[in-house]
Structure 1
Amino acid sequence: MNHNLTSEMYLSEYGRFFGMLERKLFVQSHIKGMPTTSLKKSFSKQFGLTARQFNSLRMQLDGKVSSILEKRKFDIQQLESKIEYLQKSIVKKTTQKDKLLQKLLRIPQTSPAFPKQHKKYRNMKFYLHQKKRRLRNIQHKLEKLKSDELNHKIRICFGSKKLFHKQFYLEENKYKDHAQWKEKWLESRSSQFLVVGSKDETYGNQSATYDLQNAISKYGKYITFPEVHFPYGQEVIDQAKIPYMGFTRNGKPQKYFSSITYRFLKQKKGWYVNATLEKETPKIGTSNLNGLIGIDLNAGFLAICEIDRFGNPIKSWTVDVPMYCRRKEQLQASLSDALKEILAHAVSVQKDVVIEKLDFSQKKASLREMGTKYARMLSGFAYSSFQQLIESKAKKAGVRIRKVNPAYTSQIGQMKFMARYGLSSHGSAACMIARRGYYFKTEKPKYDSVLSFPKKFDKQKANFNNWRSLTRHWGKYYYFQDKIELLKADI
């Protein structure tokens, strides 16, 4: 039999076995609530697993569960934000509908203006009906998520919900029959498995060893993959295969390896293997002694501003990150490249990077000032990916990340620094984010501005409270672009 075919069959068979055990473990641990210690014994006895194999199974399942819990928290925040926005919109449109009705009642039905006003009124009623429907649907989703959170209920669809629902639309998804879909479904549920390593095992892993001849042996003598080379980090893995001498808890000398964990994944072109190993995190090489770098996340790009130690902007620029109509992989790649460029600059100038302590709902609300279409471009995935990527990449690069309160950074930056330093509206926001890293006192509003102020405005109040009042006022009286043009001329 062909060696490649044998390998394919072996990995597929083990993937099916691992997938079946993972689903059983989920039912026993998260549905029936059985403790892990007793499950470890029963699984080892019933299925002939080693302790390391059970740990691999448990770690993969725990990763999926923790991901679902994090996503659920994020979804609850996002839905609450949508509900708040819809409720405000419904109240506003209801008032407009009532005014239209009063106007319509005053117009005789024989008047030429009646059909036009009647159509306007009907359109408003239809708009409100759709908004109320959407509000009810979102409230139902939120109630379900909060109920799951309160009852500690975990829902996992092994194989993905998207593929599961395709069985109900076979023709549209180009399946000949249900059997063809089921084959794809079973394959999806068995498409990956984890092999956890340990430093006290040969070549850092008991079950899959990557030896000095660059061959991976799956369960020792059973199957070997010769000449395995990794496109990234090969030199790091080669170094990990070299043992070093250490000591046990009893003080006895012992040979150790770097722990290597392997994840086997089945994709369109066949099986792939990813290797993960511990790598010493470089020491932080940046500080706030000479200044800081602020980053403002926007829909479609990142705005960056570098300041000196006194808070004055030195350099401002943007890096494009296309976000609209992009696949998750494309978006992650674009964000990764952009952050790599920014962090490389931070290393070269030895300055810490400052970002907003982001609340996605607040970020979306601030973007709505520029229009709802603009706000829609910033997806929740882009928002969460930005935070995860910058933190992980900064650790690898030795850059310290500082998080600051994002409240009114855009308003303060636009009024105080945009015209003075010739910054863009987003560059001035990034400047303010960087300045927040020094915890300067909140800037006073420019009281001789060309922009109007609220009628009841107390200059004696705290600056932060005044910026809150001004932000609300300007949001009602100015379109975003009009406000920016006025502030650019206001030197």
Structure 2
Amino acid sequence: MYYHAYQFEHDYLDSQIAFFKRKLGRLDFRLDRLQKQIRSLKNNSNSVVFGTKKLFKAQHTKENYQYDHQQWRKDWERSRYNQMTISGRKDAKVGNFVFCYIPETRELHFTTPDGTKIDIENLVFPYGQEQVNHAIETQMSCKNKKKYGKPIAWSVEDHGDYYIFKCIVYVPENPHKNHSRADGLLGLDLNVDHIAWSNINAKGQLIKSGVFSFDLEGKTSEQITKIIENKAVVIVDLAMKLNKPIALEKLNTTQSKVSHPYGNRKANKAMSQFAYNKMISAIKNRAEKMGVAVFDVNPAYTSQIGKIKYMKRLGISIHQAASYVIARRAMGFKETLPPVLHSLLPEKIAGLHHWAQWKWVSSCLSDVRKHAFYQIELFSYDKIDSLNQLFSQGALSDLEEKGLSKVKSRKPIA
């Protein structure tokens, strides 16, 4: 019974309206999904194959499977159902309602979906045994699990002759991580076939620079992962030896490195194999494990600044110069424009942030070949009439000289 219209509206109509809106949303979602299925069936577009497309196609391409389809089906089923992952629950006694690991006896107990109880004896983790023991013991001793508990997930992989058990636990941040920048930083510039590094002191001066090269062409994803992880170990070991943290580019600001849809075929293939996220993840994971801090910096114009300002001056490559700029930026140093270039800036650019100034200069010099910057003269003049005066005689081609001569100084030289 409703005593007035206001009560009827808020107690009944509002709830009914919300209910039908949710129902309409579900129906719209279902309609869209069914329409996509119809289009997919009409166009014969292939969907994702759970069990790998390669093995699915093998039933028609491999001779042994063509004559023995049951063997293919057996391998296919094994490929589809060879692993499982059970997520944890923070309110469970040992962080998981299915798996129970006892650190003292190193025994694992769990029950399969059909009710079979499995006991695994002497289950040892070659990497991270202490972390697993600590996580489980902490969870078992936690009084208020709903508030302070941590879930512990488990993964089981069937490799035919053996099984691999993985325990996924929460690892707190290393409290003894080296964040000190008192002695400088190790800057990194990640590229398709190498990682350039620069070691700088507290004043931002270059101590040493180098390159760790690798070759990812023709490698499988597993091989690429191993190569990258190996380089991550080498880099973090270098940082530990120098007793300095690491500086590298922010993950979400590096699309330009992997987004070149045009160009030669070999370059595009190399770019497609450029596992940039994997590189950063491997370095950060290794650094976290070894207690080395990693500082993220915005890589805006680091390569351009390094190429124009430091490549010739320090006698290093453009990528090493970029790593040097990254390290300096992480230390808090600003890369202001050399004085000789200020007179060339348009009035509307002269008062803007130094990144905007570098953007204008780099766009003007974008057509100049990279090696020509080894002959740039930034500190030989106080003022110049045009950009082509920055380069020594014969460094530029006729086309480059013609293009740079158009950029004139806004202040006449007295």
Q: What TM bracket, shorter-length normalisation?
A: 0.5 to 0.7
1:48-447 correspondence to structure 2 within 5 Å? 157-167=49-59, 169-171=60-62, 175-198=66-89, 201=92, 203-211=94-102, 212-219=104-111, 222-240=117-135, 242=137, 245-248=141-144, 260-283=152-175, 284-358=177-251, 359-364=253-258, 373-374=266-267, 376-379=269-272, 382-445=275-338, 447=340
Q: Which amino acid in 2 is paired with 1:231?
A: P
Do the aligned residues in 2 keep the contact of 1:298 with 1:378 (CA within 8 Å)? no
Name the SS for the 1:247 alignment partner: coil
Q: For 1:145-178, what per-residue CA distance to the aligned partner results, in whole angstroms no more than 9, with x for missing partners?
A: xx99xxxxxx7543234434444x4237965454
Q: Give 1:406 shift.
A: 1.9
367, 375, 382: which is aligned to 1:486?
A: 375
CA distance in 2, matches of 1:31, 1:299: 46
Give the deviation of 1:417 after TM superposition: 1.7
Q: Is the 8 A contact 2:190 2:196 kept in 1?
A: yes
d(CA) in 2 for partners of 1:182, 1:250: 44
SS at match of 1:311: coil
| Residues paired across the two proteins, number | 330
Cα distance change of structure 1 residues 474 and 375 upon mapping to structure 2, 3 Å threshold: farther
For 1:249 and 1:276, the matched residues in 2 are separated by 18
Provide the TM-score with structure 2 as the length reference: 0.65
Q: 1:223 corresponds to which letter in structure 2?
A: I
What SS does structure 2 have at the residue aligned with 1:194? strand
**Pairwise CA distance, 1:313:** 1.2
Secondary structure in 1 aligned to 2:109?
strand
CA distance in 1: counterparts of 2:181 and 2:27, whole angstroms: 49
Correspondence for 2:355 among 438, 449, 464:
464
**Offset from partner CA, 1:96-140 (integer Å, 9 cap, x none):** xxxxxxxxxxxxxxxxxxxxxxxxxxxxxxxxxxxxxxxxxxxxx
How far residue 240 of structure 1 moved from its aligned partner, in angstroms, is 4.6
1:329 shift after superposition: 1.4
- Residue 393 (structure 1) shift: 3.1
Distance 1:357 1:366, change over 3 A: farther
Distance 1:173 1:313 in 2: 61
Residues in 2 aligned to 1:250 and 1:426: alpha-carbon distance in whole angstroms:
50
Task: Tell me the CA shift for residue 320 of structure 1.
Answer: 2.5
Q: Secondary structure at the match of 2:334?
A: coil
What's the offset of the Cα at 1:413? 1.0
C-alpha distance 387-488 of structure 1, shift in aligned 2 (>3 A): farther
Relative distance call for 1:265 and 1:32 in structure 2 (3 A) is farther
Q: Is the 8 A contact 1:296 1:302 kept in 2?
A: yes
Alpha-carbon deviation of 1:303?
A: 0.5
Determine if contact 2:55/2:76 at 8 Å carries over to the other structure. Answer: yes
Deviation at 1:263, TM superposition (A): 0.3
Shift of 1:302: 0.6
How far residue 317 of structure 1 moved from its aligned partner, in angstroms, is: 1.9
CA distance in structure 1 between the aligned counterparts of 2:356 and 2:260, rounded to whole angstroms = 17
- Three-state SS of the structure 1 residue aligned to 2:237 is helix
User: Structure 1 residues 471, 364: closer, same or farther in 2, change over 3 A?
Assistant: farther
> Which has the larger helix fraction?
1
In structure 1, give the amino acid aligned to 2:256: Q
Whole-Å separation in 2 of the counterparts to 1:380 and 1:285: 32
Map of 2:22 onto structure 1? none
User: Matched residues in 1 for 2:360 and 2:89: separation?
Assistant: 58
Identity %: 28
One-letter code aligned to 2:321 = S
TM-score between both structures, scaled by the size of structure 1: 0.56
The gaps in structure 2 that reach 5 residues or longer are: 1-25, 31-35, 41-46, 381-414
Partner SS, residue 351 of structure 1: coil
**Cα distance change, pair 275–248 in 1 and its aligned pair in 2 (3 A):** closer
Moved more, 377-386 or 438-447: 438-447
- Structure 2: distance between partners of 1:249 and 1:264: 25
TM superposition shift of 1:432: 0.9
